[in-house]
Amino acid sequence: MNFEFFIAKRIISSKAYKSSVSAPIIKIGIAAIAIGIIVMLIAIATGLGLQQKIRDKVVAFNGHIEITNYDTNNSDESQVPISTAQKFYPKFHSVEGITHIQGVAAKFAVIRTESDFEGVIIKGVGNDYNWSYFEEFLVDGRLPDFSKKRNEEILVSSYIANRLGFKVGDKFQTLFGENFNRIPQIINYKIVGIYNSGFQELDEKFCIADIRHIQRLNKWESNQVGSFEVFIEDFNDINGRAEAVYNDIPSLLDATPVTQKYYTIFEWIKVFDNNTFGIIVIMIIVAGINMITALLVLILERTTMIGILKALGSSNWSIRKVFLLNASYLIGLGLFWGNLIGLGILFIQKYFKLFPLNPETYYVTEAPVYLSLDYILLLNLGTFICCLVMLLVPSVIISKISPVKAIRFD
């Protein structure tokens, strides 16, 4: 057995060690590590979870990349049609990392009831539409079915439904027109489903209906759409995929990543990274300082033992290793309890959603949790190494201890 490991093990298992003067300080050091890892786990899991939730909500309404005609219109309404007779549609094989592409069109409209009205954007979609995001948002009814003949089914948000007193099964008149200077055209939609993404900025605008109504109102052909929405595998590579898409499509078309279209939102959620990094640095420093204090107390308490080991011929580094191994055990103990408690809290929040958030501020109704073995292992390993490195400096004090004075130390 390794000499340093044997001595460290005997110190740890010693009853005198557990009831010594240093015991409370050691417990405080372990608690500091545990609390630090709990705070860091919660900060990372909720920070990443919030970023992903907000990102997914924006992507649900726009796709990762939007292909449009070059024009000066910056509104949500489709103006210039694009033919679906493109080499990249219905499958975008020429660019890697693309999972789906769909044609959509949007048109401004006014919902009219007997006592009220509301301006909205009717987003027209077809049988190629990816409903996976809205399946998660659905709170009542069902999703529309546009795979057969043209119909008047529509999906509205709970925000619009609450403002106008709608429920599933209700019908309402929708007015369309060019600035409504002429006689508007009317479509009577029937609500088959109500969704709630929690993103009021988008919920208050969009209703999902059959694209064939938009094509008819705009006098477009059946093979014309307002834009294409492209979905990719890896969001982290969105800029690279957007550039590849832009280079592959005709010169009259433009490709815009959702991060550019909603620049302020994505810049805002980047702030979470800075906050999380700051929390990690502070927690590691606090935990490291506590462990330094515990190590110094351990060295002071074992001064006589250090003198005897030096008198028997042990090197300074060998004795330092004994105390570093001891400290490693304490760090490991703190990490164990920190992970146990921290992950327990995160799993409870993930499945029982005990901690709510204000959707007007954070775009979600509860604190979202993202758990990944990768960042958990990296966080633990990084914390362990950082704390151990911080302990190398105070352990140098062992080399300053004189064997003669240490043996006579009381």
pLDDT tens digits, 255-312:
999 999 899 889 888 888 888 889 899 998 988 888 888 888 888 777 778 788 877 7
Q: What is the mean pLDDT of residues 390-408?
A: 73
Is the Cβ–Cβ distance between 369 and 49 less than 8 Å? yes
DSSP 8-state assignment for residue 400: G
Check residue 168 and give its pLDDT.
96
pLDDT at 98 over 70: yes
Return the pLDDT at 181. Answer: 56
Q: What are the pLDDT digits (tens) for 217-250?
A: 999 999 999 999 999 999 999 999 999 999 999 9
Alpha-carbon gap, residue 165 to 182, rounded angstroms? 29
pLDDT tens for each residue of 174-199 = 999 765 556 788 999 999 999 999 88
Residue holding tokens 């659905």?
138
Give 78's contacts (C-beta < 8 A, 6+ positions apart).
104, 105, 106, 107, 214, 218, 225, 226, 227
Cα separation of 70 and 181, whole Å?
27
The pLDDT of residue 15? 60
Percentage of the residues of the chain whose pLDDT score is greater than 70: 93
pLDDT for 72: 47
pLDDT, averaged across the chain = 88
What band does 17 get if pLDDT is binned at 50, 70 and 90?
A: low
The angle at the Cα of 211, spanning 107 to 248, to the nearest 5 degrees, equals: 90
CA gap 195, 95 in Å, rounded: 32
pLDDT at 384 over 50: yes
Alpha-carbon distances of 228 from 52, 171, 245, 325, 335, rounded to whole Å: 23, 29, 12, 60, 48
Q: Which of 11-25, 73-87, 133-147, 227-241 has the lowest mean pLDDT?
A: 11-25
Helix (H) or strand (E) holding 228: strand 227-232
Higher pLDDT, 15 or 366: 366
pLDDT over threshold 70, residue 55: yes
Cα atoms found within 13 Å of the Cα of residue 188, Cβ hemisphere only: 3
> Count of H helices and E strands in the chain?
15, 12
| Residue 218 DSSP one-character state | T
Residues 297-342 pLDDT 10s: 888 777 778 788 877 777 888 888 888 888 898 899 999 999 999 9
Report the pLDDT averaged over residues 147-161: 94
Nearest alpha carbon to residue 407 among 299, 308, 319: 308
The SS3 assignment for 68 reads strand
Q: 16 falls in which pLDDT band (50, 70, 90)?
A: low
Nearest CA to 233 out of 128, 137, 95, 129 is that of 95
Flag the least confident range among 38-47, 225-234, 360-369.
360-369
Token reading at 246: 């832009």
Task: Check residue 320 and give its pLDDT.
Answer: 85
